[in-house]
Amino acid sequence: MEMNRKEQFIKNVLYAACIGAIVFLVFKYCIPLLAPFLVAFLVTALITPLVNLLYRRLHISKKISAVIFVTLAYLILAGLLMLGGNGIYHWISNANGWFQTTFVPDVFHITSQLGEWLSEIDEELVPFLATLRDSLISTIGSKVSSISADILSRAATGLPGFVIKVIFAIVSSYFMATDADRLKRYIATRQTDEQYAATTAAYLGLKNTLMKYVRAYSLIFLITFAELTVGFLCAGVNNFVLIALLVAIFDILPVFGSSMVLLPWSIILFLTGDYTRGAIMFAVYAVVVVVRQFIEPKIVGENVGLHPLITLVAMYVGSKLFGGAGLFGFPITCAVLVQLQNAGFLRILPQRREPVVEPTEKRKFFRKKQKSAKK
């Protein structure tokens, strides 16, 4: 009996290890390779309910509605990419100018005031401070120039490949959306009943999880936008609603985040002597980061169907192993695997089938020996 339990434990561990290895290989190699087709699948899954709704209510052809919604989806994505990319490009390309016109004069102003204070203590500290200032400006200036040039060169060299991927994604989306029913029939006729049931369960689980994921991050986006709007209003920022919208879009991206905007902004305000607005901007940054770290696992976990702790672990492990794709994709994969486990198509972890019998009395670990009374 004990040997059977050990064998079963080893089988479960090996099975879970195989599933983990498959997930790792898929995220490491398959997803980057098949990224255009995965984007096409995601777009098709999002617009399919709208296509079916128009077909049922208005009797509009599914192919016509699919073409319309695919075009609208990619126009919206193109607008968001152009809006975010244009802002990032201008910020990076103007980094050297900002460094020379803003950062260097502010450093000279701060070090001059600090030098006046140090001269009253010891005159020999003033040349040391000037040397330290020049070294700091030279080091940071070279870093800003090299990083800006590296980012722009990578963007320029990667642009042709990105355009090719976008073209494949758009064309694939049109094919998937217009021929969705035929593709489903093609897959169904070449599978056994068990394989078709497992494939259908995985597809529905992935589709429902993606929709819940979109709903969860839409809620997080609205919360972040509200926080930024109130914070920018208190800081007296011009066009605070538009800027809050742009920063909220920047915050929802997996690689960037609002810290790349709010933290440098607050530091610049402090360096320029605007301590009140700098403190408000830093407070906005702290609130956005803390609230995001607290609500993201909870909201995503409740919508996707995972415990917030499992969601947090999956997001952390996914981001460390696979970057931005893992931050979103790894919790989704865990949710789909849990749904397949509950449906009985996978057995990653052993399940207790029999009902758990609750003890009627608490177990007493330390019982006093009752001594029989001898008369």
128-154: pLDDT as tens digits: 777 887 887 788 778 777 777 777 777
- Helix and strand numbers, DSSP H then E, in the chain: 14, 0
> Are 314 and 297 contacting, i.e. CB atoms less than 8 angstroms apart?
no
**What is the model's pLDDT at position 257?**
67
pTM of the shown model? 0.56
What residue spans define the domains of the chain? 192-348
Measured CA to CA, the distance from residue 188 to residue 4 in angstroms comes to 39
Average pLDDT in the chain: 75
First to last CA, the chain: 49
Category of 164 on φ-ψ map: left (φ > 0), alpha (ψ -120 to 50) or beta: alpha
What was the pLDDT predicted at 346?
Answer: 61
pLDDT of residue 218: 84
Q: Both tokens of residue 72?
A: 């609208």
Q: pLDDT category, 350, cuts 50, 70, 90?
A: low
Answer yes or no: are the C-beta atoms of 148 and 95 closer than 8 Å: yes
Could you tell me how far CA 287 lies from the centroid of its own chain?
A: 18
**DSSP line for 268-301:** HHHHTT-HHHHHHHHHHHHHHHHHHHHHHHHHHH
pLDDT of residue 344: 62
Residue carrying the six token digits 């607290």 = 294
* pLDDT, position 256: 59
Tokens 């940071």 correspond to what residue? 140
Q: Which two tokens stand for residue 318?
A: 């996914």
- pLDDT, tens digit (0-9, with 9 covering 90-100), for 101-116: 777 787 787 777 777 7
Lowest-pLDDT choice from 138-147, 214-223, 325-334 = 325-334
Query: Where residue 324 falls among pLDDT bands split at 50, 70, 90?
Result: low
pLDDT reading at 341 higher than 70:
no
Q: Identify the helix (H) or strand (E) that includes residue 41.
A: helix 35-58
Confidence of residue 322 (pLDDT cuts 50, 70, 90): confident
Average pLDDT over every residue of 22-43:
80
- Least confident range of 32-36, 180-184, 256-260: 256-260
Distance CA 90, CA 99 (A): 14
Q: Which residue from 99, 27, 84, 9 is spatially nearest to 251, judged by alpha carbons?
A: 84
Span 298-324, average pLDDT: 73
Q: Which two tokens stand for residue 140?
A: 């940071």
pLDDT at 325: 67
Higher-pLDDT residue of 5 and 166 is 166
pLDDT > 90: what percent of the chain? 0
Tell me the pLDDT band of 373, cut-offs 50, 70 and 90: very low
Residue that the structure tokens 């699919």 belong to: 66
CB 254 within 8 A of CB 324: yes
With bands split at pLDDT 50, 70 and 90, how would you rate the model's confidence at 368? Answer: very low
Q: How far is CA 37 from CA 20, 74, 169, in A?
A: 23, 14, 6
| CA dist list (Å): 272 to 93, 174, 353 | 21, 52, 66
- Is 319 or 280 the better-scoring residue by pLDDT? 280
The pLDDT of residue 320: 76
C-alpha to C-alpha distance for 291 and 285, rounded to whole angstroms: 10
Residue 292 reports pLDDT greater than 70: yes
Per-residue pLDDT at 364 exceeds 60? no
Lowest pLDDT segment from 127-136, 181-190, 335-344, 354-363: 354-363
Q: What is the pLDDT of residues 229-287, one digit of tens each?
A: 988 888 888 888 888 888 887 777 655 567 777 887 887 777 667 788 888 888 888 88
